[in-house]
Chains A and B, each alone.
Chain A
Amino acid sequence: MEHKQFKKEIVERTFLIYIILFSILFLITNHKIFPILILIFALSGAVFPKVPVYLYKFGNFIGELYTKLILSIIFCFLICPISFIKKLQKKKILEKNSFWEEIDFKIEKENFEKMG
């Protein structure tokens, strides 16, 4: 039972991740294929609850490749351009006497409550 539950959660999570990734891709590329894919995924998941399971099983084989492919696309379309811009903006590092940086972190009560 526990294993089943665990498997179900993995399936749901994987499914959710696909949807999130499609959303991110849509935000980046603004291509309408992604909302369509999201809709198909969401609807198929809602109407045919087994779809995510099939997709996951299928995904066992392809899923990893698929996730990696999507991440690679994000990498190429998002990370690389940002990286390029950052490198262009990179200022020439001046000769320093120290590599220590002063800490701007304030140890306040609220700070413990945040994850970041």
Chain B
Amino acid sequence: MKPIYILGISAFYHDSASCLLEDDKIISAVQEERFTRTKHDPSFPINSIKFCLDYANLTPDKLDYIVFYEKPFIKFERLLETHFLHAPKSLIQFVQSMPLWLKERILIKNIIKKEIEEKLNEKLSPNTKILFCPHHLSHASSAFFPSLFEKASILTIDGVGEWATATLGFGNKNKINFFYELKFPSSVGLLYSSFTYYTGFKVNDGEYKLMGLAPYGNPHSEKTKRYIKTIKEKLIEIKEDGSIKLNMDYFAFNTSFKMVNEKKWIETFGIPPRKPESKILTEYADMAYAIQNVLEEILIKMAKFLKEITKEKYLVIGGGVGLNCVANSKLLKEKIFEDIWVQPAATDAGGAVGAAYAVYHMYLGKERICNGKDKMEGCFLGPEYNSYEIEKTLKKYDNLQFYKEENQDKLCNLIAKLINEKKIIGWFSGRMEFGPRALGARSILADARDPEMQKKLNLKIKFREGFRPFAPSVLWEDTQEYFEWDRPSPYMLFTAPVKENRRKNIPEDYYEWDIKDKLYFIRSDVPAITHIDFSARLQTVHKETNYKFWNLIKTFKELTGYSIIINTSFNVRGEPIVCTPEDAIKCFLKTEMDCLVMEDFIIFKKDKKEK
């Protein structure tokens, strides 16, 4: 029988992406930013669509359905309503946003058709249907349909879609039903983003930095306690069922391009907004701790309420807040649900996957088959490059020295040796990851045992804030040697405590210390991946889904006795993860990385090799 091809598209807010389904199998999925090299690129994902079609050897006329991940008219209605409610304060926002909407966003159907036909020089078939999936259904669908559960409770939670900012639902086989929703402006995502903004990070980008900063806060200090109390008493009202309402006197996102009413926040918290790139004072770390704490409380209450309704054993999570791995782990620890699966590309990029699955299972009513494995293919859904393409690119650079090593064991042996010698490795292997995490296809690897490595990687390789933690990749079979953790975590969406026996004793006044002192205190025998609170955002590496990477870590274990290494995304600050060999080489040359591995090629900088 002829397969059904569905193209899912998310665009025009942040993290544009596309995804191609062949029946219920994801053939490819990739964010536009990887091609345009603009982080979180919101533009129409034409490069991504082109890749998806080329990879499947399809022309646009072979597509049966194209589905956009939200309903533009409803979103437009929300914008107008917001302007109605807040006039005349919303004048500036109205004048700025309307031309964009009138010129393109509202005409999305035409834009999809036009962009594909003109940029790809191929006509769509008259039979190709263009469909629209509600934003939170896209998230719910991206979380449930590719998951390994036949039935599950569904929680979606993000900044805002059309009107909804969070939904509670239930998935069973090929159906999704929703029970409740929170509506704009009551938004947990926007609440968290407001603090992202106030602590000096970029909204829709720096949320994970805020999460990383939170453990530097002092949970016992009066200031932190006061911040938590202030948030819960003045900024929001939290009900027992996890629903919240924002006190809009403190927020400005519905009337201006600012997130908060700064005057009110200064009065309330007693500190001004942190200037981006300025020194991070402990007050901001305490603030990060406070909002993370409140977020966790809300999520736990929501999950309990959802469990009461569905009585289901499993939970799936979609929407940007799902990337808060600390909160995910707290949810798991509460044992409200037996297991939790989070869509690895939980932001709007994953909406492309969800919209496509919603069409397959809900619009077309096709059966959903569960075989105990998720359908994300380890997230390796992007482009890959063969030896010929890599060599061709390498030859363009005369400042590189490279050779080919086709024997994979030898290659892994050499790289394991280099990592053991505290060298930093760029690792480019197979299909690029879909979603924000590098999982061993476009990664920078280093030795987790080196106490200097976190500092070195942050400042000399990634050029980013010194406090930022690094994640470990560990062989799945050895996970319990390092972490209090008992289940697969292939997508880095949970944090786990480092085993007690690996930890170093901390001084009594540890929590009073300055951020820098805390940062450079050696906390375990794998210090580079042990965060300030003894947690780590772990990736379990499985032989079946990620053989080459698994083999490398196994070789490292044979050499050192440690089956754990640092795995951080192959990019520098402010840039998307590398996609092509050219991107990888540029990044390699720009930083102090010691060696680059691209498939079978081992590459050094000429001067380094000579040394």
Residues of A within 8 A of B (CB): 13, 17, 20, 67-68, 71-72, 75-76, 79-80, 82-84, 86-87, 96-103, 105, 107, 109, 111-116
Tell me whether B176 and A99 are in contact (CB under 8 A).
Answer: no
Residue of B nearest to A13 (CB): B103
Tell me whether A99 and B244 are in contact (CB under 8 A).
Answer: yes
Q: Which residues of B contact A75 (CB under 8 A)?
A: 83, 87-88, 91, 94-95
Q: Which residues of A contact B240 (CB under 8 A)?
A: 97
Interface of A is mostly: helix
A67/B99 contact (C-beta < 8 A), A98-B239, A103-B181, A115-B73 known? yes
Pick the interface stretch among B128-136, B320-328, B526-534. B128-136
CB distance from A71 to the nearest CB of B (A): 5
18 more CB-based (< 8 A) A-B contacts, given A71-B99, A101-B180, A113-B132: A72-B91, A79-B90, A83-B83, A83-B86, A84-B87, A86-B84, A96-B239, A101-B181, A103-B167, A103-B181, A105-B134, A107-B177, A109-B363, A112-B67, A114-B71, A115-B71, A116-B72, A116-B73
B120 at the interface (CB under 8 A from A): no
Tell me whether B71 and A116 are in contact (CB under 8 A).
Answer: yes
B506 at the interface (CB under 8 A from A): no
Residue of B nearest to A83 (CB): B87
User: Is the interface on chain B under 10, 10 to 19, 20 to 34, or 35 or more residues?
Assistant: 35 or more
* Nearest 10 interchain pairs by C-beta: A116-B73, A83-B87, A99-B243, A100-B180, A112-B131, A103-B178, A100-B243, A71-B95, A80-B87, A79-B87
25 of the cross-chain contacts (CB-CB < 8 Å) are A13-B103, A20-B102, A71-B94, A75-B94, A75-B95, A76-B88, A79-B87, A83-B88, A84-B87, A97-B239, A99-B244, A100-B241, A100-B243, A101-B182, A103-B179, A103-B180, A107-B362, A112-B131, A112-B133, A112-B358, A114-B71, A114-B132, A115-B109, A115-B132, A116-B72
The proximity string for B residues 406-444 relative to A, scoring 1 for CB distances below 8 Å and 0 otherwise, is: 000000000000000000000000000000000000000
Q: Which residues of B contact A82 (CB under 8 A)?
A: 84, 87
A99/B99 contact (C-beta < 8 A), A75-B91, A83-B84 known? no
A79 to B131, CA, bound (A): 31
Interface of B is mostly: mixed
Residues of B within 8 A of A (CB): 67, 71-74, 77, 83-88, 90-91, 94-95, 98-99, 102-103, 108-109, 129, 131-134, 137, 167-168, 176-183, 186, 237, 239-241, 243-245, 305, 358-359, 362-363
Q: Which residues of B contact A20 (CB under 8 A)?
A: 102
Residue of B nearest to A107 (CB): B362
